[in-house]
Structure 1
Amino acid sequence: MLFSSLVIGQERSTKTNVLIVDGFSNHDWKQTSYMVKTILENSGFFEVSISTIPLESKTWRPKFKKYDVVIQNSNNIHDKNLRWPTKVEKSLEKYVKSGGGLYILHSANNAFADWPEYNVMIGLGWRTAKEGVALQVEESGEVAQIPIGEGKATYHGPRNDEVINILTDHPINNGFPEAWKTPDMELYKYARGPAQNLIVLSYAKEEKTNINWPVEWVIAYGKGRVYNSSMGHLWKGETYPVSYQCVGFQTTLIRATEWLAKGSVSYQVPDNFPSASEISLIEKK
């Protein structure tokens, strides 16, 4: 399958090494990894490898330290018996604590509720009401905590075109408009977790309740950096959906990955970046 992705004539002489980890999910993890790899490599900034967890995973040992960024694209919410080997879990913890970058891609924040340090690394995820605090953004811009046990478990309604509102100025969103529109997104409500060392970057308003829910957040974990977002949904049977054609999503993917690696961003915001009222898509070939 061929598809167009965002290319605006930028190139780096030294490319950032990225590893995508996949192998199981209730989403289409194969196509998701393929699209993410293609978008990143077409930017000219990255070399991307994929490590797929084998069915017999006891000997699976990805070498995280060889990479600047790890993109987590596996999800065991449909089968709690699917786990990484303990040695691999400890290896990822050490990698991020030592300064590595970790991108939690869409449903990867549904995964591994029984892995305590994973919950700390991702900050918030798809969890029950008893498994952590939730956050919402007040109209004043303050971030309020919903205590453990209050409110609901994490859920989302139908996918919608959502307006992403910038809450915190950050290298990832530097140069973005204050609000921009992305298509067919799942807005997570009551994402829950420890929410330690966490900064909310953006939010979207749920029309029914007028509650502002976080969309993107970053976490400091030891010396490392983590980026987490519900953007990037790709369901079974979909082929390059509009959520991936979105110029805003592709730009955010590239810039978040660069920030995870370097702590700064040089990838430029394209002229056709979406506005608060207009979606901008890269059409299929």
Structure 2
Amino acid sequence: MRSILYCLFICSFFPGAFAQAQDTPRKLISVLIVDGFSNHDWKQTSLMTKRILEESGRFTVSISTAPGTVDDTGWASWNPEFEEYDVVIQNTNNIQNPALRWPRRVEERLEKYVRAGGGLYILHSANNAFPQWEAYNQMIGLGWRPKETGYALEIDSAGRIIRIPPGQGEGTNHGSRFDAVIHILHRHPINEGYPEAWKTASMELYRYARGPAENITILSAARDSVTGNIWPVEWVVRYGKGNVYVSSMGHLWKGDTYPISYRCIGFQTTMIRAAEWLGTGRVTYPIPANFPTGDAVSVRAESVKLAY
């Protein structure tokens, strides 16, 4: 009976799960989440991300937790084997402690992994991390950086990209979270079939994200609720033979418990589809019938909590 109830639960919230069960079993996409330190709630973020992906029926997810302090003796043995996975999700952020960095050998291993064709998912505040790591800046394209560092990309009312040079405008910042209307700028396998605009709940929109902004494709953008300016929300970067997906969606602050931003059907669907594309180069996960519209958010019930 418990097995039947669990199946009904999964099928109600993830329509693709039942369809997949009727198909020939597919090879699961292997994902590694890297966490260990952040000014956000990285433990809950990792566990909820793992559950969202695994409930889709397309992934198997492992977690590698880095030491959390500069002088931790565990750094000597921490050496995640990125090349053993189809996708790596980066969930560390040292913005409050710049000295807390991965060992250079681990940085080089990630660089080699992506250059050789690996898929890298930069989850929300992970784009705040590692400003002194040159290859990381290249991989993420745009990050949380000071005014003098790199280009910022703004979107005009016609959907054209405006490149703001270093020293002009502002350093990266954001206002209060709000229900943002996500506008598709570039059709891509990740958002194929999405409405032109859809609303996500309680999102942080990064203003003046900065970086090299090379080999970058902006997938979507949103209008800032205070200034009215339009800024990128999601983008992909080509790095060597590999692909990187970056998004400011997925905010989970300390003290939050299964927040509405993570219960958003649009966010969960996009996370699954982005990870599938990074791991296979294509997207098969269906768009659920309750995907949000441009006028209304769509969220899982608060009582239906992800177990972690």
TM-score bracket for the superposition, by shorter chain length: over 0.9
Candidates 287, 292, 302, aligned match of 1:269? 287
Contact 2:220 2:232 in 1 (8 A): yes
Superposition deviation, residue 8 in structure 1: 1.3
Match of 1:246 in 2: 264
Among 90, 97, 109, the residue aligned to 1:79: 97
Q: What are the within-5 Å matches in structure 2 for residues 73-222 of structure 1?
A: 73-222=91-240
Q: Does 1:15 align with 2:31?
A: no
SS of alignment partner, residue 204 of structure 1: strand
Question: Which among 41, 51, 71 is matched to residue 38 of structure 1?
Answer: 51
Amino acid at match of 1:202: S
Instruction: Give the aligned CA root-mean-square deviation in angstroms.
Output: 1.1
Count matched residues.
282
Distance in 1 between residues matched to 2:176 and 2:264, nearest whole Å: 18
Q: Secondary structure of 2:159's match?
A: coil
Deviation at 1:139, TM superposition (A): 1.3
Which secondary structure state, in structure 1, belongs to the residue aligned with residue 180 of structure 2?
strand
Distance 1:9 1:41 in 2: 12
The one-letter code matched in structure 2 to 1:181 is K
User: What residue identity is the alignment partner of 1:33?
Assistant: S
Q: Normalising by structure 1, what TM-score? A: 0.97
Instruction: Measure, in 2, the Cα distance between the counterparts of 1:7 and 1:168.
Output: 25
Shift of 1:262: 1.4
Identical residues among aligned pairs (%): 60
Which amino acid in structure 2 is aligned with residue 8 of structure 1? Answer: P
CA distance in 2: counterparts of 1:278 and 1:208, whole angstroms: 20
Deviation at 1:59, TM superposition (A): 2.1
Structure-2 separation of matches of 1:118 and 1:264: 24
- Consecutive unaligned residues of structure 1, counting only runs of 5 or more, are none
C-alpha displacement of 1:131: 1.1
Asked if the contact 2:16/2:286 (under 8 Å) is kept, the reply is: no
> CA offsets, 1:129-186, max 9 Å, x none?
1111000111111111000110000000011110000000000000100000011100
SS of 1:91's partner is: helix
Distance in 1 (alpha carbons) for counterparts of 2:77 and 2:163: 41
Distance in 1 between the 2:76 and 2:143 partners?
A: 26
Q: Which amino acid aligns with 2:14?
A: V
Gaps of 5+ in 2: 1-8
**Displacement after TM superposition at 1:263 (Å):** 1.4
Aligned position for 1:63: 81
- Choose which of 20, 39, 60 in structure 2 pairs with 1:47: 60
Greater Rg over alpha carbons, structure: 2
Partners of 2:128 and 2:291 lie apart in 1 by 29
SS in structure 2 of the partner of residue 189 of structure 1: coil
Query: Secondary structure at 2:53's aligned position in 1?
Result: helix
Runs of 4+ in structure 1 off by over 4 angstroms are: none
Taking the aligned partners of 2:273 and 2:28, their CA distance within structure 1 comes to 14
**More displaced stretch, 53-62 vs 224-233:** 53-62
Residue 232 of structure 1 and its aligned partner are, at CA, apart by 0.2
**2: CA distance between counterparts of 1:191 and 1:118?**
14
Please give the TM-score of this superposition, normalised by the length of structure 2.
0.90
Contact 2:33 2:90 in 1 (8 A): yes
* 1:58 shift after superposition: 2.6
Larger helix proportion of the pair = 2
Cα deviation, 1:52-108, whole Å, max 9, x if unaligned, reads 002431321100000000000000001011100100000000000000000000000
